[in-house]
């Protein structure tokens, strides 16, 4: 009797391990990663470098011409290629303080903890259940558990241990773990997507600020020039050299230029608020970094990953792939739920009215129960859930294909944009130089009396538009360069974005 309870408990554990060994296979489809798309290039024709900007110099003295380096890797800190210390500082601050990233990190840790929690279902659970009770025994002719029939109150001590286990015979629990692991993988790439989106937004906002400052500067220069012309007209009017209509036309042109300034200044203020928010600050704590096009160097050697690598580099594609994996595992869970469910429970302990009697072998007891549950009729509920999970898998596979197509489209759009930007920068620079010379010549002709005021007005407006267009064209070239890095995945594989988990301080993590 002394060894029966431990032996029974050991037998129950042995049976549980046997069932676990028998469940070596799991029902449902085994996940296979989607095949890479057969594309060998991003555009219909072979990739061509941007052209037409060879003779154009940037404000830093470098060429505005860019070239693509096929097959080159994307640096993890791609924004440093713009060689702006202010931009590097702002990106670092945003990565350290942006609450969206903190939330994404927490979501990833939640998913990983759920995986570890689900893994516990593969093992037996051991529960201690000691009991102590005070009871009153019945008197009169009823039987009492007490030796002394004149004593009615007694205590009953029952220390016991219970073991329960649900053998994963058909792999339902393992498929559930696989599903949760896929969810964690999805969260992992959601985090990478958040990092990529944040860095790209900071760079884009900085470039937009630089563009707005260039447009504001150009507008102010034109306003200053138009003001000087108006002052000259007023002097000539007072001397009777020109008609009043010329003064009115110049005043109207000046007013139109002045109207352009407030919207640009409003956009600049809002852009400053955006940069401040991306850095994790309140608007009243505006960041100190400011940006101009002269501070940003244009990357001229642009790495372009091979098409076969794109699906492994894009965080959104990897997240969509994880969703396919999760849906595949959920099908296995649904199939396993329709099959027999096994359970083993064992309970062992002792019971006595005195603590000293618990050591007596005759006080021991044990029970071992094995059970099998098989649904016989549920009106098709479990079957419909299996069908729903299969349709979810089909939908996830379709969504994955759509995400891949979008990824290739993004890269192709960025490449086309950069090819167009080179021509736009060349044309805008040529127009700015030509209109600047035209204004200078027309002013001299006007002073000499060779042309009238209307010609001067037209030349001024052309020069204003040329300055603004040039600033916009250069900003578009910078922005589309950043968009290409983003479309190619942002080089997350060359840096560590996932923060380590918080340390476990619970001394009894196994409970």
Distance separating alpha carbons of residues 400 and 394, to the nearest angstrom: 10
Scanning the structure block, which residue is given the tokens 């696989």? 178
375-416: pLDDT as tens digits: 899 899 999 999 999 999 999 999 999 999 999 999 999 999
User: Can you spell out the DSSP letters for 292-306?
Assistant: -GGGSPPP-EEEE--
Sequence ranges of the domains in the chain: 41-123+169-338+403-494
2-34: pLDDT as tens digits: 445 455 545 545 554 555 545 557 888 999 999
Question: Which uninterrupted H or E stretch holds 162?
Answer: strand 160-165
Q: Measure the CA dihedral 38/39/44/49, to 10°.
A: -160
Rg (CA), the chain: 38
Q: pLDDT tier at 61 (50, 70, 90 boundaries)?
A: very low
Predicted TM-score (pTM) of this structure:
0.85
Residue 458 neighbours by CB under 8 Å, 6+ apart? none
Q: What is the pLDDT, as a whole number, of residue 187? A: 97
Which among 307, 489, 304, 316 is positioned nearest to 401, based on CA atoms?
316
Distance separating alpha carbons of residues 396 and 327, to the nearest angstrom: 7
Sheet of 341-350: strand order equals 125-128, 160-165, 341-350, 364-373
Q: What is the pLDDT, as a whole number, of residue 173? A: 93
Question: Which uninterrupted H or E stretch holds 235?
Answer: helix 172-238
- Secondary-structure class of domain 41-123+169-338+403-494 per CATH: mainly alpha
Distance separating alpha carbons of residues 401 and 393, to the nearest angstrom: 13
Distance separating alpha carbons of residues 287 and 163, to the nearest angstrom: 60
């Amino acid at each position: 009797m002394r060894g029966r309870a431990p032996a029974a408990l050991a037998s129950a554990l042995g049976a549980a391990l046997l069932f676990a060994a028998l469940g070596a296979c799991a029902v449902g489809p085994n996940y296979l990663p989607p095949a890479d798309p057969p594309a060998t290039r991003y555009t219909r024709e072979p990739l061509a470098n941007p052209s037409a900007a060879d003779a154009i110099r940037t404000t830093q003295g470098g060429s505005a011409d860019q070239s693509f380096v096929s097959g080159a890797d994307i640096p993890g800190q791609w924004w440093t290629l713009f060689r702006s210390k202010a931009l590097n500082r702002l990106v670092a601050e945003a990565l350290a303080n942006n609450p969206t990233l903190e939330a994404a990190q927490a979501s990833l840790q939640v998913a990983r903890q759920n995986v570890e929690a689900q893994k516990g279902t593969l093992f037996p659970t051991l529960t201690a259940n000691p009991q102590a009770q005070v009871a009153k025994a019945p008197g009169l002719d009823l039987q009492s558990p007490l030796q002394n029939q004149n004593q009615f109150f007694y205590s009953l001590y029952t220390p016991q241990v219970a073991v329960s286990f649900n053998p994963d015979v058909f792999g339902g629990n393992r498929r559930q773990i696989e599903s949760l692991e896929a969810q964690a993988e999805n969260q992992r790439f959601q985090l990478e997507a958040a990092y990529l989106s944040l860095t790209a937004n900071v760079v884009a906002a900085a470039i937009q600020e630089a563009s707005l400052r260039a447009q504001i500067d150009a507008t102010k220069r034109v306003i200053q020039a138009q003001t000087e012309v108006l002052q000259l007209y007023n002097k000539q009017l007072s001397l009777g050299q020109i008609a009043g209509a010329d003064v009115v036309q110049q005043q109207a042109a000046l007013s139109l230029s002045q109207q352009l300034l407030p919207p640009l200044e409003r956009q600049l203020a809002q852009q400053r608020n955006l940069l401040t928010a991306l850095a994790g600050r309140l608007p009243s704590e505006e960041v100190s970094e400011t940006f101009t096009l002269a501070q940003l160097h244009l990357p001229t050697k642009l790495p372009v990953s091979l098409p076969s690598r794109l699906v492994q580099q894009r965080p959104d594609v990897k997240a969509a792939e994880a969703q396919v994996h999760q849906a595949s595992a959920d099908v296995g869970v649904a199939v396993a739920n329709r099959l027999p469910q096994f359970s083993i429970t064992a309970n062992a302990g002792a019971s006595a009215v005195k603590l000293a009697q618990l050591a007596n072998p005759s006080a021991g007891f044990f029970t071992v129960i094995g059970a099998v549950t098989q649904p016989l009729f549920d009106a098709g509920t479990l079957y419909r859930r299996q069908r729903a999970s299969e349709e979810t898998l089909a939908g996830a596979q379709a969504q994955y294909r759509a995400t891949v197509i979008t990824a290739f489209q993004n890269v192709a759009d960025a490449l086309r944009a950069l090819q167009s930007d080179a021509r736009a920068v060349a044309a805008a620079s040529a127009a700015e130089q030509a209109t600047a010379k035209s204004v200078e010549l027309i002013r001299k002709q006007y002073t000499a009396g060779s042309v009238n005021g209307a010609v001067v007005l037209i030349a001024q407006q052309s020069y204003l538009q040329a300055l603004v267009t040039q600033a916009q064209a250069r900003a578009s070239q910078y922005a589309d360069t950043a968009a290409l890095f983003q479309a190619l995945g942002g080089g997350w594989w060359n840096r560590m974005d996932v923060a380590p988990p918080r340390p476990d301080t619970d001394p009894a993590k196994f409970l």
